[in-house]
Chain A
Amino acid sequence: MLKIKDIHVSYGQAPALHGVSLEAPEGQIVTILGANGAGKSTTIRAAAGLIPVMAGGIEFAGKEITGLSTEAIVRLGICAVPEGRQLFGEMTVLENLRLGAYTRGEGRDFRRQLDMALSYFPALEERLSITSHLLSGGEQQMLAIGRALMARPRLLMLDEPSLGLAPLLAQDMFSRIKDLSEGEGITVLLAEQAANLAVGIAGYGYVLEGGKVALGDTAENLLDNEGVRSAYLGL
């Protein structure tokens, strides 16, 4: 579904990615692990068209998407939820969800999509008319993912969805991500520092180090890998 082929990205003079290649097969959850600054967020931002790719290419559903605008990429069915959630803080929960469906219809489709998103995050239902910056951290994360669902994505890219959540809440968030990936057949690319949670729901994982892929393997093998266990899983 998503194929990232040897991409290079820099912020000004500072190189951030030198030759990252990874794949997310249709319907699967793939996680990107790595320390702070390893290039996890940058990989997602590049795939979302938020920063330019200097070399290499990105392919989605057999189509070259390198260099497309974020708007065009969203229309193709890729939605990113970046670190920090990026909600419209002064708008209501419902307005945020409506904006999530900006590239889709407003009519009956919207209603169906709203019901689908709320079925995974029912806590949002009674909060629809609340200004979103008043939500708790967990609810804000639900809204961020719910808003991305409104665009009817085929690929969902999540950056640190556990950030700032209490351990139990984080665990709950990951099981919902798994549910919606299975329920809607959505491919998920998941960048996480809370590696044990991420590997727990993923089928495949990549370890980034200093802007390069250091390792790519199935989740089971990663869990068995001594180096990964000590460096990222804290086991």
Chain B
Amino acid sequence: MDLFLQQLISGIASGSLFAILALGMVLIYRSTRTFNFAQGQMAMFSTFVAWSALSTAMGFWPAFFLTLLSALAMGALVEWLIVRRVEGTTELNSLIVALGLFLVFDGLALYIWGPLPRGFGPFSVFSGGATCAGDVCIGRLNLGILAASGIIVALLYLLFQRTKFGLAMRATAQNRLASRLVGIPVGRMLSTGWALGTAVGAIAGILAAQSLGLDINTMFSVLLFALAAAVLGGLDSPAGAVAGGLVIGVVKNMAGTYAPSSIGGIDLTVAFLVIVLVLMVRPTGIFGRTSQRRV
């Protein structure tokens, strides 16, 4: 039982990390319908920005907020400079733009910071003894990931459900033409979606790199599961991204624990099997809008 509980908690913690990155993808998808698989590389890039800030002997929190600001600016700039050019054309174009972004951030990071892995944390906020209840323990970093995902979800909820700006962002995600008709500056909403998505991704990067180390491939495995989480939850649903992330994290951990150890990589296989099964029943994901078209 203790083993089960322990694995459940670890699963929820790693699932929260997938959830954060997936949440960033969903924010971007909702704004311009771009399936942004450059999300991982953009998060990695931001984490390198944090690393550079920290190497100037800046404290963790100043570096963290500086990184957030730069990620916000970077996201808005990407939307404004690049994504907007292919707006309203085909889905293939926006996929190619995402691929291009992937290569650009990959190349830029390699050019600026080089191929060698860098030490990154764990920072004092996230290090120290584990918190235990009986035999079930949770480490400080995992606790930090849980807290971070909780705070991000709460803040986004307040933004979307309690502010006029958030209402306008939801409106833009739902009906562009109607949004223009009521006088919402649609372009600014789209940039904001990218800005928020990129900033949330940066947080995922800063959390992930503390256990995975920092190099240009750091976010690959996280991205894979985050993509799965976003698709599982429904690409346009923030709540779905969180639920999807948690499901994937727990299933992956359980499979890794209880499957015979002779089968390598079983956690990945089982996690993706679950996705296939869910999507067979609900093609738009658990929380995704059913793709009904109204006249």
Interface residues of A (CB under 8 A from B): 48, 50, 69-71, 74-75, 79-82, 84, 86-91, 95, 98-100, 102-103, 106, 133, 147-148, 151
Q: Which residues of B contact A82 (CB under 8 A)?
A: 177, 181
CA distance A15 to B277 in the complex (A): 50
Interface residues of B (CB under 8 A from A): 164, 167-168, 170-171, 174-175, 177-185, 289, 294-295
Q: Pick the residue among A90, A103, A106, A133 that contacts B182 (CB under 8 A).
A: A103
CA distance A79 to B183 in the complex (A): 9
Q: Which residues of A contact B184 (CB under 8 A)?
A: 71, 99, 102
* Structural contact, B182 and A99, CB atoms closer than 8 A: yes
* Structural contact, A75 and B183, CB atoms closer than 8 A: yes
* Structural contact, A133 and B294, CB atoms closer than 8 A: yes
Q: Pick the residue among A74, A90, A91, A106 that contacts B181 (CB under 8 A).
A: A74
Taking the nearest CB of chain A, how far is it from the CB of B66, in angstroms?
Answer: 33
Closest to B180 in A: A70
Q: Which residues of A contact B181 (CB under 8 A)?
A: 48, 50, 70, 74, 79-82, 86, 148
Closest to B176 in A: A86
Q: Pick the residue among B174, B175, B180 that contacts A50 (CB under 8 A).
A: B180
CA distance A91 to B202 in the complex (A): 31
Q: Which residues of A contact B170 (CB under 8 A)?
A: 91
* Structural contact, A151 and B295, CB atoms closer than 8 A: no
CA distance A50 to B186 in the complex (A): 13
Residue of B175, B179, B181, B289 with most chain A CB atoms under a 10 A cut-off: B181
Known: A98-B167, A102-B164. A88 touches B174 (CB 8 A): yes
Q: Which residues of A contact B185 (CB under 8 A)?
A: 69, 71
Taking the nearest CB of chain A, how far is it from the CB of B228, in angstroms?
Answer: 26
Known: A48-B181, A82-B181, A91-B170. A98 touches B175 (CB 8 A): no
Q: Which residues of A contact B289 (CB under 8 A)?
A: 90
CA distance A130 to B244 in the complex (A): 28
CA distance A117 to B48 in the complex (A): 53
* Structural contact, A74 and B294, CB atoms closer than 8 A: no
Known: A70-B181, A82-B181. A99 touches B168 (CB 8 A): yes
CA distance A48 to B171 in the complex (A): 19
CA distance A69 to B171 in the complex (A): 18
Show 23 residue pairs from A and B whose CB-CB distance is below 8 angstroms, ordered by the A residue: A50-B180, A50-B181, A69-B185, A71-B183, A71-B185, A74-B181, A75-B183, A82-B177, A86-B175, A88-B174, A88-B175, A88-B178, A89-B174, A89-B294, A90-B289, A91-B170, A95-B167, A98-B164, A98-B167, A99-B167, A99-B179, A100-B182, A147-B182
